């Protein structure tokens, strides 16, 4: 391996230990807290927007975040392992099929929306936690679900659908209960 790459990897490991980077991709809504120095004062400024893409280049990795500020699109490129970034928080996951979302630059309003990705891992863990509680209530729930199923079967038997050669559907009633009339 190249000696420069070895040094970069060592520095990268140190940076990751000090400030871990969450897993995010293009389409995710991020909240990036950036340290801003104004004269002698230092403050933290939040920049929240949609991640347009990531550039993975080792220690030189960066990502682009776009937000709307007073109706005007604002993009900012952040170095991923910069010391000026205090934290990166994933607000919501976006469901997209592109690695770079530059097409959002020409869109405004509802056309610039991104569908939210459903998080199956979190739902699966939640279901496993509820499964232990549900085992005690399972016999009662099964009895309740059987009653509507029987009612649906009776309704299907009651009404039969015939399709003559003309293509129009004709529903014939088998009589059934007198209460239905």
pLDDT by residue for the chain (181 residues), tens only, comes to: 689 989 999 999 998 888 889 999 999 999 999 999 999 999 999 999 999 999 999 899 999 999 999 989 999 999 999 999 999 999 999 999 999 999 999 988 889 889 998 875 565 566 666 655 555 555 555 555 556 666 666 666 655 555 556 656 555 555 555 555 4
Given CATH 2.30.30.790, say whether it is the number of domain 3-118: yes
CA distances in angstroms from 35 to 16, 28, 87, 106, 139, listed in the order given: 18, 22, 10, 30, 57
Q: In Å, how far from its chain's centre is CA 81?
A: 24
Q: What are phi and psi of 44, to 5 degrees?
A: -110, 130
Q: What is the pLDDT of residues 104-122, one digit of tens each?
A: 999 888 898 899 988 755 6
8 Å CB contact between 52 and 100:
yes
8 Å CB contact between 33 and 40:
no
Q: What are phi and psi of 45, to 5 degrees?
A: -115, 130
Q: Which two tokens stand for residue 167?
A: 């293509």
How far apart are alpha carbons 10 and 80 in whole angstroms? 16
Q: Which two tokens stand for residue 58?
A: 């080792």
- 0.85 exceeded by pTM: no
Stretch(es) of the chain classified as CATH 2.30.30.790:
3-118
8 Å CB contact between 58 and 8:
yes
């Amino acid at each position: 391996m190249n000696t420069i790459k070895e040094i970069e990897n060592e520095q990268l490991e140190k940076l990751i230990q000090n400030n871990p980077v969450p897993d995010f991709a293009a389409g995710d809504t991020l909240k990036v807290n950036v340290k801003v120095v104004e004269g002698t004062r230092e403050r933290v400024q939040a920049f929240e927007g949609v991640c347009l893409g990531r550039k993975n280049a080792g220690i030189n990795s960066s990502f682009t975040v776009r937000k709307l500020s007073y109706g005007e699109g604002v993009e900012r490129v952040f170095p991923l392992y910069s010391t000026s970034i205090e934290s990166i928080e994933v607000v919501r996951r976006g469901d997209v099929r592109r690695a770079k979302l530059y097409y959002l630059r020409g869109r405004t309003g509802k056309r610039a929306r991104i569908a939210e990705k459903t998080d199956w891992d979190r739902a699966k863990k939640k279901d496993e936690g509820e499964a232990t509680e549900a085992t005690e209530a399972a016999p009662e729930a099964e009895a309740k679900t059987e009653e509507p199923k029987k009612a649906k079967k009776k309704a299907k038997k009651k009404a039969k659908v015939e399709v003559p050669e003309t293509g129009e559907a004709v529903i014939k009633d088998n009589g059934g209960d007198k209460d239905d009339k």
